[in-house]
Amino acid sequence: MFDHHCTACAQRQLIFPSQITGVANTDHGIVVSFTCACGAGQTMLTGRRKASTEKVTLAA
């Protein structure tokens, strides 16, 4: 369960697992598709951020 600001009804809604319609793993993280309590289809990006392969070099 998580909360989401719906772009259709402009309400902060609690999203329950039963409302989730799909989960997709992308380069940007995990995209969760779900249906808001108002009936609008929504997506949310969650999970890990895109891993940075850039190494930080400390100038000593």
44 contacts Zn ion (rule: CB under 5 A): no
- Which residue in 2, 5, 8, 22 binds Zn ion (CB under 5 A)? 8
Task: Indicate the residue among 1 and 56 with the shorter CB distance to Zn ion.
Answer: 1
Q: Distance of CA 15 to CAs 25, 43, 56, Å?
A: 19, 11, 38
Does the protein bind Zn ion through residue 32 (CB under 5 A)?
no
CA distances from 12 to 5, 23, 30, 42 (A): 4, 21, 20, 12
Binding residues for Zn ion, rule: CB under 5 A, are: 6, 8-9, 36, 38, 40
